[in-house]
Amino acid sequence: QVHLEQSGAEVLKPGASVTVSCKTSGYTFNRYGISWVRQAPGHGLEWMGWISVYNGNTVYADKLQGRLTLTADTSASTVYMELRSLRSDDTALYFCARRERRFGESDSWGQGTHVSVSS
Amino acid sequence: DIEVTQSPSSLSASVGDRVTITCRASHSIDSYVHWYQHKPGNAPKLLIYGASHLQSGVPSRFRGDGSGTEFSLTIDNLQPEDFATYYCQQTFRPPVSFGGGTRVDI
């Protein structure tokens, strides 16, 4: 069955960078994209961006342009999310999700990774 | 950018009720709307994709309707496990956007 396993919780200081991994299994890796979504405490879901694993193309949310990089390692069936120059408002629960090809919905999700940014 | 306005932001209901949540897009988005159920600390769960297609394994009491700019999620015969927050999402054109969420509680 489809499974997405994310790396563990991170605690970082402002200005640092974080990389969260999303290891997939149970399906053909390069036939689907991977989206990233986060939820800050007390807030709703925020779309961050997505990567086409097939060709490496990426689309990022405007507010994260320049700080966010998504990459894929096809040999490991894993996608990485790097967020740089962290601020306190980046504190959130981060999710990766498989992106379906036809409509772009997210049908399978990782368990979430807590990222806490505090001085 | 396409803005997605979801209403209401919260509602109170009882087991057995029918509830309807609506989403309005600032531009026509064809049928590129999806609905998710989210419970605290868990990953969101896809309920409806392509405006009206029921995701595999989701109970038939969940129903999605609409096209263009107006969409709705209806839950018939509300069950205890349905108390959660629901989000619509548009994927018609980047940037992808979520509605603000609707919290359904007792």
pLDDT of residue B41: 87
Q: Mean pLDDT over residues A84-108, rounded?
A: 96
Sequence-distant (≥ 6) Cβ neighbours of residue A76 within 8 angstroms:
A23
pLDDT of residue A20: 98
Which residues in chain B are contacts of A100 at CB distance < 8 A? 49
Tell me how far apart the alpha carbons of residues A36 and A57 are, in angstroms, rounded to a whole number: 14
Q: What is the pLDDT of residues B68-98, one digit of tens each?
A: 999 999 999 999 999 999 999 999 999 999 9
pLDDT of residue A13: 98
User: Which whole-number Å values give the CA distances from A116 to A10, A45, A47, B41, B64, in the listed order?
Assistant: 6, 17, 18, 15, 36
Tell me how far apart the alpha carbons of residues B5 and A53 are, in angstroms, rounded to a whole number: 31
Q: What is the pLDDT of residues A5-47, one digit of tens each?
A: 999 999 999 999 999 999 999 999 999 999 999 999 999 999 9
Q: Which residues of A touch B (CB under 8 A)?
A: 35, 37, 44-47, 50, 59, 61-62, 93, 95, 97, 100, 102-107, 109-112
Six token digits for residue A115: 């990222």
Which residues in chain A are contacts of B100 at CB distance < 8 A? 44
Q: What is the pLDDT of residues B48-72, one digit of tens each?
A: 999 999 999 999 999 999 999 999 9
Which residues in chain B are contacts of A107 at CB distance < 8 A? 46, 49, 55
Tell me how far apart the alpha carbons of residues A85 and A14 are, in angstroms, rounded to a whole number: 7
Tell me how far apart the alpha carbons of residues B68 and B27 are, in angstroms, rounded to a whole number: 8
